[in-house]
Amino acid sequence: MGEKESKKWVLMATARSPTNIAVIKYWGKRDETLILPVNDSISVTLDPSHLSATTTVAVSPSFDRDRMWLNGKEILLSGGRYQSCLREIRRRAEDVKDEERGICIKREDWEGLHVHIASFNNFPTAAGLASSAAGFACLVFALAKLMNVKEETTELSSVARQGSGSACRSLYGGFVKWAMGNKEDGSDSIAVQLANETHWEDLVILIAVVSSRQKETSSTTGMRESVETSSLLQYRSQVVVPRRLIQMEEAIKKRDFPSFAKLTCADSNQFHAVCLDTSPPIFYMNDTSHRHVQLCFLVHRTSYTYDAGPNAVLIAPNRKVAHLLLQRMLFYFPPPSEKELDSYVLGDTSILQEAGLHSRKDIEALLPPAEVKTNAPPQKYTGDINYFICTRLGGGPVLLSGDDQALLNAETGLPK
Ligand code: DP6
């Protein structure tokens, strides 16, 4: 194949990866570069049809450098985390052959070939919904497919971990544990699946995306400061989490919702207590978050968890409880006048229909919940919520076939 001919081809792979929410939190690193945590964590993977990243990776001899576009905008790939993922995947790359198209890449060629990456989140990146977890998991998964990496998913999780800690848990669906490991090189700090997404199908997840003007401390910075200053973090990682982990695995295995909910809430509370115990203290939850916690206690057996921001992730044991929860949430946090219900409650809206909520009028007609005792009109918090997402547990990363799903042009390797 002549030099000119060989420059023509572009080889691509496109994947979609879910995001995840921790029910036993990761907070604190023992190694900042390798991203090794101070404790194990457990998460649930969320349905990718509502929250996921889609990533296309392409290789071509005509590319002169590695480039990346995130949600349509070119970003620098010089950051250490991207470089770690690219290096680790290239190191594991194998031969790739496509005789029809005259493509033959030897494993040793990958070092000299450049990639183009385009990634897109189907939810707002700024909403504080673990976009980096879905993004890095998807990047690693797609690169591994492109470069014919043969390693198991667990091995890939240790690469994704070096992009963002929580990303390692997004390589599996269902319930996932990130074992902290104890080796210095991090090779045993990997994610494993505890149960797949069909294990506990009754669970319903409701996310309240809180309108927040405040710029929060990033997880990376926040946890570094907690490691440096919080003694509660030490007690948590050494004493509380090891015990809780065993109980949580047991609760998941038995589908024991009361235990699952108790542990989830307690762990979220403790993570935020560690944040308060940090100097200077970090405040991720706000008044709206606190109101949601109170409501969860009023709606029978609902669990809540909060990451590094004010958004609530509420988990109901079944659809019946989810209806009650949604009705209560919408009673106190109705859509602002300019918003229709279909842009206020997103995701699996069948829950809304089942709860008898078809329009704004149905929400206005909701009767005050039992806790509203006085005759005065109950306090409502219109505008405090941006939108809700109804979702459920979901599966791990998948490869998307066909050029029409790709974010890069099959001929040029540039964003479509
Ligand atoms: C509160 O994974 O975003 O969401 O490893 O520095 O990229 P880095 O941090 P990140 O932290 C997530 C923290 C958390 C809890 C969790 O997901 O376990």
Split at pLDDT 50, 70, 90, the class of 128 is: low
Token pair of 74 as six digits: 């070119």
pLDDT over 80 at 148, yes or no: yes
pLDDT of the residue at 379: 87
Nearest CA to ligand 1 atom 4: 307
pLDDT of the residue at 126: 58
Split at pLDDT 50, 70, 90, the class of 2 is: very low
Return the closest-CA partner of residue 210 out of 95, 331, 292: 292
Distance from the alpha carbon of residue 43 to the mean position of ligand 1, in angstroms: 11
pLDDT over 50 at 1, yes or no: no
Ligand 1 closest atom vs CA 163: 7
Range in 7-21, 37-51, 113-127, 229-243 with the lowest mean pLDDT:
113-127
Distance from the alpha carbon of residue 105 to the mean position of ligand 1, in angstroms: 36
Distance from the alpha carbon of residue 71 to the mean position of ligand 1, in angstroms: 21
CB pairs under 8 A, 24+ apart, for 227-234?
A: 227/28, 227/29, 227/38, 229/277, 229/278, 229/279, 230/274, 230/277, 230/278, 230/279, 231/277, 232/270, 232/273, 232/274, 232/277, 233/27, 233/28, 233/38, 233/274, 233/277, 233/278
- How large is the average pLDDT for residues 397-408? 94
Distance from the alpha carbon of residue 37 to the mean position of ligand 1, in angstroms: 10
- How large is the average pLDDT for residues 135-150? 97
Ligand 1 closest atom vs CA 35: 5
pLDDT of the residue at 284: 94
Nearest CA to ligand 1 atom 14: 307
Distance from the alpha carbon of residue 18 to the mean position of ligand 1, in angstroms: 15
- Residue whose CB lies within 8 A of the most ligand 1 atoms, among 20, 21, 26, 244, for a mutation test: 26
- How large is the average pLDDT for residues 16-36? 97
> Interface pTM (ipTM) of the complex?
0.99
Ligand 1 closest atom vs CA 167: 2
pLDDT of the residue at 130: 67
Tell me which residues have their CB closer than 6 angstroms to ligand 1: 22, 25-27, 35, 41, 132, 164-166, 219-220, 307-308
Distance CA 163, CA 136 (A): 6
Nearest CA to ligand 1 atom 7: 164
Q: Which residues pair with 20 in a beta bridge?
A: 45
Distance from the alpha carbon of residue 61 to the mean position of ligand 1, in angstroms: 36
Nearest CA to ligand 1 atom 1: 307
Ligand 1 closest atom vs CA 43: 18
pLDDT of the residue at 172: 98
pLDDT over 90 at 120, yes or no: yes
Nearest CA to ligand 1 atom 3: 219
pLDDT over 90 at 67, yes or no: yes
pLDDT of the residue at 79: 87
pLDDT of the residue at 373: 76
What are the extents of the domains in the chain? 3-197, 204-391
Q: Which residues contact residue 109 at a Cβ distance below 8 angstroms, ignoring those fewer than 6 apart?
A: none
pLDDT over 70 at 235, yes or no: yes
Distance from the alpha carbon of residue 252 to the mean position of ligand 1, in angstroms: 22
Class of domain 3-197: alpha beta
Cβ–Cβ < 8 Å for 301, 264: no
pLDDT over 90 at 414, yes or no: yes
pLDDT of the residue at 319: 95
Q: What is the pLDDT of residues 344-370, one digit of tens each?
A: 999 999 999 998 999 889 998 888 888
- Residue whose CB lies within 8 A of the most ligand 1 atoms, among 166, 180, 233, for a mutation test: 166
Q: Place domain 204-391 in its CATH homologous superfamily.
A: GHMP kinase, C-terminal domain (3.30.70.890)
Q: What is the pLDDT of residues 156-178, one digit of tens each?
A: 999 999 999 999 999 999 999 99
Distance CA 123, CA 129 (A): 8
